[in-house]
Structure 1
Amino acid sequence: MIGLTQVSLVYVAAIAFALAIVSRLTKKGRGLPLPPGPTPLPIVGNVRGINVDAPWLTYKDWGDLYGDLVYSRLLNQEIVVINSEKVAKDLLEKRSNNYSDRPNIVTNELFGVGFNSILMRYGPRWRLHRRLFHQALRPEASLSFRPMQLRKTRQLLLNLLEEPTSFAEHIQTHSSSIIMSAVYDYESAPRGDPLIATVEKAVKVVVEEVRPEVTAVFGAFPFLLKLPSWFPGMSVQKRATLTRKWVKEWLERPFQHVQRSMAEGTASPSMVSESLRKIKGKDETIVDAIKQSAASAFGAASETTASSLLNFVLAMVLYPDVQARAQASIDAVVGTERLPDFDDRSSLPYIDAIVRETLRWHPVLPLAIPHATVDSDVYQGYHIPKGAIIIPNVWAMSHNEAKYPDPAEFKPERFFDANGELNDDTVSMAFGFGRRVLHSRCVGRHVADASLWSAIVSLLATFNFAKAVDSEGNCIDFEPQWSSGVAVHLHPFPCAITPRVQGLTAEKLRKSAP
């Protein structure tokens, strides 16, 4: 067995090496150079020197060396990294017909997420999903979710008041409960909802496994996916088996909840119920698309909103002056007898600046979602190959020192112009580029923006955030750490969350709600 395995690996390596040589010779005959980039190693490509936990940092360093457009290769997969917001708009928006595809990620089917609208290849099926998203989550429709978002925010405040040390879990529950309500009209439990817990487990694994640097190995050697789980290095099979079970529940259980509610005549408006009501007859293709796009919406929104709110909490702990200024602005407009609502938003520009800075400071999707070229292209004299993975390095864009001086610092003031008004920079790169997001950027951005704003302004109005202290009263210092993956999460950190008003009780908090 060992001998056969060694022979097989040598055979695969020889084929890969031959493909690399042919590919290189083909490029030389095109007459135009590829974008500059680090010199790849034979066969494996540019694996040396990449920070596997934070590849966006490596890509930014490459950008400093080679420019805004960087070419690299991982095994037989060509990758072009975009480190500039201008270049991203030039290619992904102005030439969106050529850059709206997604890479063929072979592990999608392995983990049961081939249905996911976010990862789906460009085509008629994706356009149907997009239409369903747009009908349900367009700006006008998103206004109807605001009372629900405020209600969910009040529950978050109550959870934090009663159990502040579990703030990360409360924030995750809050984020998930909002999108579950908007998409399925599902009223989740205030804490520990079993359905949400199952879906979150599936989303977490998928986010960790769909990174280009991980999937490239299986794309180059698809036979690896057929190896059994006991084979050395193939524990991914065990994770995939369990994840497929969770994903099935993610797809089916909330959808069935809507179907039961509609049959009983108790369904309130939601993305799924409204979409199902518009179907003429029983078109299973559209029913499946509704089920799949709804699950995709939950996976995307719950993940990003929760991570952004945790980044906000960290910023308030590390930048108490920002917190104090924000709270002063809220007190001046709202007072201390009630909680803010959306009618107050236009009078609280500093809170909007905090929302923008939260998105910029530590983007949840530092490399966005990879695009792929439909055909070859030429940009600024460089050849961009057909089928190349295009990675917008949002981290590099949001930490561009020319646009954002001292980018590592949390400075909401950077979003005000000389007249003290909010400028036009809405940190749109955090929501993606191109035809995938149309003119309104991320489908659901309006829902996400309202969720972030309502949570941030309410948290600031109600609580103080500070470093935790030990038994001797000394502040506990810590170094923030983030996970790796397509979407990054802030790891647990010590934090003291205390009410701004002494003697605050759950009953008083309920009475302060508008």
Structure 2
Amino acid sequence: MTTTSSLFAGLGCLLVASIIYFRKLKANPARAYLPPGPKPVPVLGNIRDLRAKELWIPAMDWAKQYGSLVYLHIFGQGLIFVNTREVAHELLERRGPNYADKPQFTMVCDLCNCKNMVAFTPYGDQSKRQRRLMHKAFGIPRVPSYHPLMQNSTHLFLRNLIASPLDYRAHVRRYAGSLTLNIVYGYEVQSNQDEYLVMAEDAVDVLSNEIASAGGVWAVDLLPWLANIPKWAEGLPGMSFKRKARVWKKLMEDWVDGPFEYVKNSMKIGSYKSSFCSSLLEDESVSKTEDTFEFDLKWTANSMFGASIDTTITAVSHFLIALMDNPDVLKKAQEEIDRVVGNDRLPDFNDRKSLPYVDAIFDETLRWAAPVPLSLPHKVSEDDVYNGKYIPKGSLIFANIWAMTRDEQLYPDPNAFNPERFLNIDSELKKQRDPRNIVFGFGRRLCPGNNIVDSSLWLLMTSMLATLDISKPVDDQGKVIEQPPVFDNPIFRIPNTFKCSIKPRSERALALIRQTDLRATA
């Protein structure tokens, strides 16, 4: 994390950088037309305006005060927040190539060796090869082939949940992790302590909590020469980052190599399940075209897990919170499911078009949860101008998804959980309100697994609505326990673990859940 001692160690360099920055500002009149934003202080810039946790809260205030584009800087490094869908569409999609690059932070990319993960790969040949692999395996035409896996994983989740409802967070983690490991590698998780599942969870936790602490910016990111400090200097105040990076680097590399080698070894002995990796390794039209194929494939495969687990946990957690706070929503959904699906089976994907209220709950959950409120930063490749405002080359661009999903013009009373906002509206407004156009990102960095996440989360939530009663917990005296959500994760809007009452809604629902175990072992 960025410590005071390590920052002061490089104060001289920062001062030089700031002098260069202000000289550039003076030499280039266009820089006087930067987007508005909070007033910086000399040398440090806007460092006092930023915070490690829930940065989307002040970012929302900046959007209201300064408009669609907001500019800040730290030691001359520009940060631009894009606050409306219209501007995000213009910059990140219509001008996509100029906004598709990624910042190369020394700590996460070089020292921890994450630079080849899809989220961090610079825009260029490698990122394009990775996107092609993902599109081939996860494009819309391929999603139905994964439906049986999604259904089995959902049924296992329900069985685990009714067996130990207090462990709902662990069950969601296992659901997201095991489904992705199965789809990507053909690997079946056997328990919550499964080797690859635990390894993946540890790596994701390091990425989203440890490395991303203090906003993801370390002293070595501001002063890259610190990466070359000798080993004896690592004991100095603020210099422990190199010791941590060595441990984290090995964890990341084991996470990438382990499951991929499992697939290759399984294919050698002829005992494997069809998966993202196996299908591409077997497809000579793909595997023989690039010398870098296997390298690209293993890093692309690894990235799918990291992209899915925290998004799933965030969405399901907010889904539970919404149902606890809005019992009428649960009741309406169950009435619709009972009318359409009946009481003799669990919902499946064929029911989706016949369950408009349930689909509206799913849409509202995506909007209300906003799993990655500030998206992951893009980097501007060349100077640009939008609406008279100068966007300097090298600036980091944050799509302020939180502000977009709280746009009062598009979503009246935006902080309320209200599925009805997606019902009985014309097709144009429905398209504008569709949260999928926002929460999965924009342009050439749109989440490539969005179709998988959309389908798997829909079935999971619909199955929970069909079979469970979800309500606020009560204490020993029968008093309802109120729990305002707490958010400590700096990247994903994952609430800290909370208590929740989860029970089968009827004996018939319980029987249906238990019957899935018989079908799974038949």
Larger mean CA deviation between 417-426 and 175-184 belongs to: 417-426
CA deviation string 1:104-156 (max 9, x = no partner): 22222222211101211100011111111011101111110001100000000
Distance 1:399 1:281, change over 3 A: closer
Q: Aligned partners of 2:131, 2:478: CA distance in 1, in Å?
A: 53
| 1:63 is the counterpart of 2:63 | yes
Counterpart in 1 of 2:40? Answer: 40
Offset of 1:426 from its aligned partner? 2.2
Q: Select which of 481, 486, 498 maps to 2:486.
A: 481
| 1:360 is the counterpart of 2:367 | yes
Q: Aligned partners of 1:81, 1:419: CA distance in 2, in Å?
A: 31
Offset of 1:298 from its aligned partner? 1.3
Counterpart in 2 of 1:84? Answer: 84
Which amino acid letter does the alignment assign opposite residue 342 of structure 2? G
Q: Aligned partners of 2:418, 2:361: CA distance in 1, in Å?
A: 8
The answer as to whether partners of 2:374 and 2:398 remain within 8 angstroms in 1 is yes
Larger mean CA deviation between 278-287 and 138-147 belongs to: 278-287
Counterpart in 2 of 1:198? Answer: 199
CA deviation string 1:454-493 (max 9, x = no partner): 1000111111111111112211111111223222322100
Q: Select which of 288, 310, 318 maps to 2:295.
A: 288
The answer as to whether partners of 1:74 and 1:213 remain within 8 angstroms in 2 is no
The answer as to whether partners of 1:71 and 1:80 remain within 8 angstroms in 2 is yes
Q: Select which of 292, 299, 303 maps to 2:310.
A: 303
Matched position secondary structure for 2:490: coil
Counterpart in 1 of 2:348? Answer: 341
Counterpart in 1 of 2:128? Answer: 127
The answer as to whether partners of 2:314 and 2:369 remain within 8 angstroms in 1 is no
| 1:494 is the counterpart of 2:496 | no
Sequence identity, in percent?
34
Distance 1:181 1:8, change over 3 A: closer
Q: Select which of 461, 466, 472 maps to 1:461.
A: 466
Q: Aligned partners of 1:421, 1:11: CA distance in 2, in Å?
A: 55
CA deviation string 1:437-470 (max 9, x = no partner): 3xxxx31211111110110001111111111111
Offset of 1:225 from its aligned partner? 3.4
Counterpart in 1 of 2:21? Answer: 20
Counterpart in 2 of 1:412? Answer: 419
Offset of 1:14 from its aligned partner? 2.9
Distance 1:129 1:363, change over 3 A: same
The answer as to whether partners of 1:339 and 1:512 remain within 8 angstroms in 2 is no
Q: Select which of 229, 238, 241 maps to 1:236.
A: 241
Counterpart in 2 of 1:432? Answer: 441
| 1:222 is the counterpart of 2:227 | no
Distance 1:30 1:253, change over 3 A: same
Matched position secondary structure for 1:481: coil
Q: Mapping of 1:360-399 within 5 angstroms?
A: 360-399=367-406
Counterpart in 2 of 1:266? Answer: 271
CA deviation string 1:90-114 (max 9, x = no partner): 1111111211111222222222211
Matched position secondary structure for 1:474: coil
Matched position secondary structure for 2:70: strand
Matched position secondary structure for 1:378: strand
Counterpart in 1 of 2:159? Answer: 158
Distance 1:372 1:282, change over 3 A: closer
Distance 1:22 1:404, change over 3 A: same
Q: Aligned partners of 2:7, 2:499: CA distance in 1, in Å?
A: 49
Which amino acid letter does the alignment assign opposite residue 431 of structure 1? F
The answer as to whether partners of 2:36 and 2:66 remain within 8 angstroms in 1 is yes
Larger mean CA deviation between 9-18 and 419-428 belongs to: 419-428
Offset of 1:315 from its aligned partner? 1.2
CA deviation string 1:254-306 (max 9, x = no partner): 10111112112222221111111124559651110001100011111122122
Which amino acid letter does the alignment assign opposite residue 499 of structure 1? P
Q: Aligned partners of 1:105, 1:81: CA distance in 2, in Å?
A: 19
Counterpart in 1 of 2:187? Answer: 186
Q: TM-score, normalised by structure 2?
A: 0.91
Which amino acid letter does the alignment assign opposite residue 398 of structure 2? I
Name stretches of at least 5 consecutive residues in structure 1 with no aligned partner.
Answer: none
Q: Aligned partners of 1:7, 1:389: CA distance in 2, in Å?
A: 24
Q: Aligned partners of 2:267, 2:8: CA distance in 1, in Å?
A: 59
The answer as to whether partners of 1:316 and 1:465 remain within 8 angstroms in 2 is yes
Matched position secondary structure for 2:217: helix
Which amino acid letter does the alignment assign opposite residue 471 of structure 1? D
The answer as to whether partners of 2:6 and 2:237 remain within 8 angstroms in 1 is no
Which amino acid letter does the alignment assign opposite residue 470 of structure 1? D
Larger mean CA deviation between 243-252 and 394-403 belongs to: 243-252
Distance 1:507 1:322, change over 3 A: closer
Larger mean CA deviation between 487-496 and 224-233 belongs to: 224-233
Matched position secondary structure for 1:423: helix
The answer as to whether partners of 2:25 and 2:32 remain within 8 angstroms in 1 is no
Q: Aligned partners of 2:426, 2:15: CA distance in 1, in Å?
A: 64
Offset of 1:409 from its aligned partner? 1.1
Matched position secondary structure for 1:42: coil
Distance 1:454 1:12, change over 3 A: same
Q: Aligned partners of 1:303, 1:457: CA distance in 2, in Å?
A: 20
The answer as to whether partners of 1:218 and 1:225 remain within 8 angstroms in 2 is yes
Distance 1:511 1:320, change over 3 A: farther
Distance 1:8 1:444, change over 3 A: closer
The answer as to whether partners of 1:32 and 1:382 remain within 8 angstroms in 2 is no
Larger mean CA deviation between 146-155 and 114-123 belongs to: 114-123
Offset of 1:507 from its aligned partner? 3.5
The answer as to whether partners of 1:416 and 1:422 remain within 8 angstroms in 2 is no
Q: Aligned partners of 1:432, 1:276: CA distance in 2, in Å?
A: 29
Offset of 1:26 from its aligned partner? 3.1
Q: CA RMSD in A?
A: 2.4
Matched position secondary structure for 1:43: coil
Which amino acid letter does the alignment assign opposite residue 349 of structure 2? F
The answer as to whether partners of 1:199 and 1:249 remain within 8 angstroms in 2 is no
CA deviation string 1:286-332 (max 9, x = no partner): 11000110001111112212221121112111211111111111111
Offset of 1:211 from its aligned partner? 7.3
Q: Aligned partners of 2:7, 2:137: CA distance in 1, in Å?
A: 54
Matched position secondary structure for 1:159: helix
The answer as to whether partners of 1:117 and 1:129 remain within 8 angstroms in 2 is yes
Which amino acid letter does the alignment assign opposite residue 387 of structure 2? Q
Q: Aligned partners of 2:271, 2:49: CA distance in 1, in Å?
A: 57
The answer as to whether partners of 2:6 and 2:238 remain within 8 angstroms in 1 is no
The answer as to whether partners of 1:111 and 1:206 remain within 8 angstroms in 2 is no
Matched position secondary structure for 2:444: coil
Offset of 1:508 from its aligned partner? 4.2
